[in-house]
Chain A
Amino acid sequence: MNASTTDLGLHRPAFLQEQFDDPLQQREAATLGMWVFLATEILFFGVLFASYTICRVLYPDGFAAASRHTDMLLGTIETAVLLTSSSLIALGVRAIKLGERRAAVALLLATAVLGSSFLVMHGFEYYREYTEHLVPGIDFLQPGVDARAIELFFCLYYFITGFHSLHVLIGVIVIVGVATRVAHGHFGPRRYTPPELTALYWHLVDIVWIFVYPLIYLVGRSG
C-alpha cells in the first residue's frame, strides 16, 4: 500500500478494485491467478492421463484394438480446428491491444465458431460410437477376448474427451461474452487483461487436446 495511494484515489479507473494500488498490480494479480488456475487444471487432467497410461500398460493389446475403433479422420480435423481457433484468439487479443475493435470481435467470434464446430464433430463421433455399441454403461457390446480392455479404454476415452469438451463449452461461452464486451468498448488498448486471460485458458484447452489426440487416436493404431 503506497503512501501516495490515497492521493491518487481520484484518478483510479472504474475497473480498478479497491484492494489494488494501480491497474498494473491488478493485472499482475489476475495473470498470476490464471496461471495458478491452469496449474490446477493440469492436475485435474493429469489424473486421467495417469490412469490412461497405467491401464494401457496393463492391457496393451486391448488398448491398441480399441484405438482402432476411434475415428481418426474426424479426430484429425478436430485437432486442426482447435489449433486454428487458438491462433485466431491470439490474433484477436492483438487486435484488442491495437484498438481494432471490429477485427477483434470478428476474430473472437470466429474462435467461438470453431470451438462450437469442434463440439459438433465430437457429438458425431459419440453418436457413431453409440451405434457401434461402444459406450460403457449405456450400450457396450464387443466380441472377443479384449472386450474388457476395450470397455476400459472407452471409459477413459469418455472421461477424458467429455471433461475436455466441457472445457471447450465453457471456453466458447466465455469467448462470446468477451466478444460482446469488446463490441461495447469495454476492452481496448488501455485494458485487455480479461481477454488475454481468456485466450490463455483457451490455449490450455488446446494444449490438453494436443496430448489427447495422439493418446486416443494415434498410438497403437499401426500395431
Chain B
Amino acid sequence: MSAVDAGVMPHSFLAGEDGLRQWLTTRDHKRIAILYGLGITFFFFLGGAAATLIRLNLITPQGALMGAETYNKAFTFHGVVMVWFFLIPSIPATLGNFLIPLMIGARDVAFPRLNLFSWYLYMAGGAFTVAALLAGGVDTGWTFYVPFSTLFSNSHVFLAVIGVFVSGFSSILTGLNFIVTIHTLRTPGMTWFRLPLFIWAMYAVSLVMVLATPVLAMTLALIALERGLGVGIFDPALGGDPLLFQHLFWFYSHPAVYIMILPAMGVVSEIISCFARRRVFGYRFMTYSMLAIAVIGFLVWGHHMFVSGQSVYASLVFSLLSFVVAVPSAIKVFNWTATLRKGDITFEAPMLYALGFVGLFMLGGLTGLMLAAPALDMPLHDTYFVIAHFHYVMVGGSVMAYLGGIHFWWPKLTGRRYPEAWARFAAILMFFGFNLTFFPQYILGYEGMPRRYHSYLPQFQVLNVLSSGGASILAIAYLLPIAYLLWSLRYGKPAGDNPWQARGLEWQTSSPPPTENFLRPPVVQDAYAYQEPAP
C-alpha cells in the first residue's frame, strides 16, 4: 500500500507501520477491512475461474471440457466459494468494517481483537476449502445434501465442510461485533433514527448472521461426525431423517440469502440518495422493511423443499410467508424509485451500479415469487430458471451493489479518485454482460433444462452459447475494475475529503481517514440533507 500513502496524508491509517507483520497484527478496523478485501477478491476470482470452466463446458451439448464427475466438482466449488467466501462476507466484512465506526463517529469497532480473529478464521476456512479442491474436489453441490454427502460421495466432503464450519464462526463473530458496536459506540447525538440506512442494513444483517449461522455450523458438524464416525441422525439406514438435514440447512441458507442482499440494499440507499441529491424517501419505512426482511426471512426456508416430500400444509404456509417477505422488499424498490423522483440525478459509476442493482434485483425478486408458488415450483424446481433467479439477486444484486459501494467509498478508502470514464464503461459492460449471461437461463429453465448436468439436449445449444458469450463479457467487466483501481492507487487524482459532496459522517474526516478516525470530534448531521445547502 506504500504507493497510496506517499505524501497523501500525514495521519492516514495507511501511512506509518508498513511491514507485513504490522498489517497481519493490526486491530484497526480500516486495515482489517482491507485484509478482508484482499481475501474476498482472491476468492471471487477463484470462484469465477470455476464459473468460467462451467460456461466453457456448456458451449456444446455433450460437454466441451469435462465429464460428469469433474463438472460436479466445478459447480460445487463455484457454489461453495462464491456463497461462503465471497457473497456472505463481501459487503459486511469490507465496507461494513471500514464504514461502521466512521459512520457512527466511533474510533473502532467494539472488539478490535475479535475483529482481526474473524479475519483469520475466514482465511483458515478458505484454506480448508482450497485444500479440498487441491486434494481432488467435492461433488455434492454447495448444499451438501445427505445421504449423498455422508454415505455415497467419494470426494473430499470432510475438508470442505470443515472449511465452511470455520468460516461460519468468522461471520458469527463479525455479526456480534457489529451489533455491539452499533448499540454502544454511537457518538453523542447519533440516535437510532439518525443512523444512515447502511448502518441499519449492517444491523439487520448482523442479527441474521448471529442467529442463523450457528444452525449451519452445528448441522455441518453433524455431517462431519456422520461421515467420519458413522454415527448420526440423518442417515435413513440408521433410522435417521434426511429431510431433517434439509430443514436445518435451509433454516440457515435461506436467511443467508438475506445476509447477501440486505447489505446491498444499504449500499444502494446511500448511493441513490447522494447522486439524486434527494433525501431518502420514507427513511423509517426503509429501516422497518430491512428489519422485517431479516425477521420474516427466518420463516420461509421451506420454499426450497416443495418437492422434497414435506407436508403440503407446510408448503402452503412457507409459500404464503415467502410472498409476505416480498412486501418489504417491494417497499424498498418503490422508495428508491421515489427518491429519484425530481432528483438532480448524475450518472457517476456508483450510481450506474446502484440503478443496475434496482432493476436486476427487481427481476430476480419477481421470479423468486414465481418459484415461491408451489404450483410453479414443481416444474421449475432444479431447472436453470432457479439458477437465473438467484444469480439475478446475488450477482445482479449483491455484486453490483458491492462494486457500486467500492467505487463510492474508494476515494475515502484510498484518498484517490478512480478513472470515471473507465468505471462507467465497466459498469455498463457488466450490466449487459450480466443480462446476456443469465437472461437466456430463464428461458432455458422455462423450457426444462435441468441444472447440474454437464451435458444437455441439442435444442438448448443456442441459448447456452449466448449465455457463455455473456459470461466472457462479464469476465472482462470484472477484470477491468481490478486494473483501473490498482492504477488509481498510484496515478489517481487526490480525492479530497468529500468528492461527492455527500452528507454522511464518514465524509467529515480526511481521505484516507487517520488511524483514530476523527482528529476532531465529528458533528452529527442529517446523513440525507441533500436538499439543504451544504454546511
**Residues of chain A at the chain B interface (Cβ within 8 Å):** 1-3, 5, 17-20, 25, 28-29, 32-33, 36-37, 39-41, 43-44, 46-48, 50-51, 54-55, 58-59, 136-137, 148-149, 151-152, 155-156, 158-159
Contacts and interface: CB of A to CB of B under 8 A. Distances in A.
B233 A29 contact: no
A66 B183 CA distance: 47
Given A44-B214, A151-B238, A51 B521 contact: no
B215 A33 contact: no
A55 B213 CA distance: 23
Given A1-B518, A40-B211, A137-B230, A33 B111 contact: yes
Nearest to A37: B176
Given A1-B518, A29-B180, A155-B233, A40 B210 contact: yes
B239 A36 contact: no
A19 B107 CA distance: 5
Given A1-B106, A19-B107, A51-B244, A137 B184 contact: no
A51 B187 contact: no
Contacts, number: 113
B183 A32 contact: yes
Given A1-B105, A29-B185, A155-B233, A148 B218 contact: no
Interface in B198-248: 210-215, 217-219, 222, 225, 229-233, 238-241, 244, 248
A18 B111 CA distance: 11
B188 interface: yes
A19 B188 CA distance: 14
Contacts of A48: 218
Contact of A29 (B172, B184, B212, B244): B184
B184 A18 contact: no
Contacts of A19: 101, 106-110, 112, 185
Contacts of B225: 159
B176 A40 contact: yes
19 contacts: A18-B108, A19-B106, A19-B112, A25-B184, A29-B111, A29-B184, A36-B176, A36-B210, A40-B210, A40-B214, A44-B215, A47-B214, A47-B219, A55-B241, A137-B229, A137-B230, A149-B239, A155-B232, A159-B225
B231 A18 contact: no
A47 B218 contact: yes
A37 B172 CA distance: 9
A1 B211 contact: no
Interface of B: 101, 105-112, 172, 175-177, 179-181, 183-185, 187-188, 210-215, 217-219, 222, 225, 229-233, 238-241, 244, 248, 518, 521-522
Given A29-B110, A33-B110, 6 more contacts: A19-B107, A32-B184, A48-B218, A51-B222, A54-B241, A55-B240
Contact of A58 (B181, B188, B232, B241): B241
Contacts of A3: 521
Nearest to B211: A43
A1 B107 contact: yes
B244 A54 contact: yes
B233 A156 contact: yes
Nearest to B109: A19
A131 to B, nearest CB: 18
Closest 10 CB pairs of A and B: A137-B231, A43-B214, A19-B108, A148-B239, A47-B218, A29-B184, A29-B110, A137-B229, A136-B231, A44-B214
A47 B216 CA distance: 9
A145 to B, nearest CB: 12
A88 B244 CA distance: 40
Contacts of B105: 1
Contacts of B176: 33, 36-37, 40
* Chain B interface helix/strand/loop/mixed: helix
Nearest to B234: A51
A59 B108 contact: no
B180 A33 contact: yes
A152 B218 contact: no
Contacts of A43: 211-212, 214-215, 218
Nearest to A42: B214
B238 A152 contact: yes
A51 B232 CA distance: 11
Given A19-B106, A152-B238, A159-B222, A36 B179 contact: yes
Contacts of B188: 1-2
A60 B176 CA distance: 39
Contacts of A46: 214-215
A36 B180 contact: yes
A172 B521 CA distance: 43
A155 B231 contact: yes
Contacts of A59: 239
Contacts of A148: 238-239
Nearest to B243: A54
Quick one: which of B105, B188, B233, B239 has the most chain A CB within 10 A? B239
Quick one: which of B108, B111, B172, B218 has the most chain A CB within 10 A? B218
Contacts of B522: 1
A151 B239 CA distance: 9
Contacts of A28: 183-184
Contacts of A47: 214-215, 218-219, 222, 248
B172 A40 contact: yes
B521 A39 contact: no
Quick one: which of B184, B185, B232, B238 has the most chain A CB within 10 A? B184
Nearest to B218: A47
Contacts of B238: 148, 151-152, 155
A120 to B, nearest CB: 24
Contacts of B241: 54-55, 58
Nearest to A3: B521
Contact of B187 (A1, A20, A40, A156): A1
Nearest to B184: A29
Contacts of B222: 47, 51, 159
A157 to B, nearest CB: 11
A2 B105 CA distance: 10
Nearest to B114: A33
A20 B187 CA distance: 11
Nearest to A48: B218
A2 B215 contact: no
A17 B105 CA distance: 17
Contact of A44 (B101, B183, B217): B217
A44 B521 contact: no
A17 to B, nearest CB: 8
B233 A152 contact: yes
Contacts of B179: 32, 36
Nearest to A50: B248
Nearest to A2: B188
Contacts of B239: 55, 58-59, 148-149, 151-152
